[in-house]
Amino acid sequence: MDGIITIVCALLGSGAATALVTGLVNRRAEKRRTETGESQGLRYLLQDRLEQQALAYMRRGCVTYGELRSWNRGHHIYHDLLGGNGDLDGLREELKRLLYETEAENHD
């Protein structure tokens, strides 16, 4: 009989522990999903700044390696760390092409 009680207690205990851990994990995931106004504002400001920089480089007709590297750092923060949606990916490709065209002209 003691063996059965031990098994029942172990089952109940492991179920409670599982429920507790699952609840904590779900709570943490929900907290990550809910954004603050600050994070939304930062993402918006950074997106706007990156767009303005990219358009300036495109108007100028060239971008240096250092400028592109700095722009890519900002894009990483916007996209990966602040959860940006990929709106800037097209501009990123345009800037890479612009850099390659500029470098090809300098080698001629």
With CA atoms as reference, report the closest residue to 92 among 40, 42, 55: 55
pLDDT at 99: 84
- Cα–Cα distance, 13 to 89 (Å, whole number): 50
* For residue 70, pLDDT beyond 90: yes
- Cα–Cα distance, 48 to 38 (Å, whole number): 15
Question: pLDDT per residue over 19-33, tens digit each?
Answer: 666 776 666 656 665
Question: For residue 13, what pLDDT band results from cuts at 50, 70 and 90?
Answer: low
pLDDT at 37: 85
What predicted TM-score, i.e. pTM, was given to this entire model? 0.63
Q: Where are the alpha helices (DSSP H) in the chain?
A: 2-33, 37-60, 65-76, 89-107
Find the mean pLDDT for residues 59-68.
Answer: 93
Percent share of the chain, pLDDT over 90: 48
| Residue 11 DSSP class | H
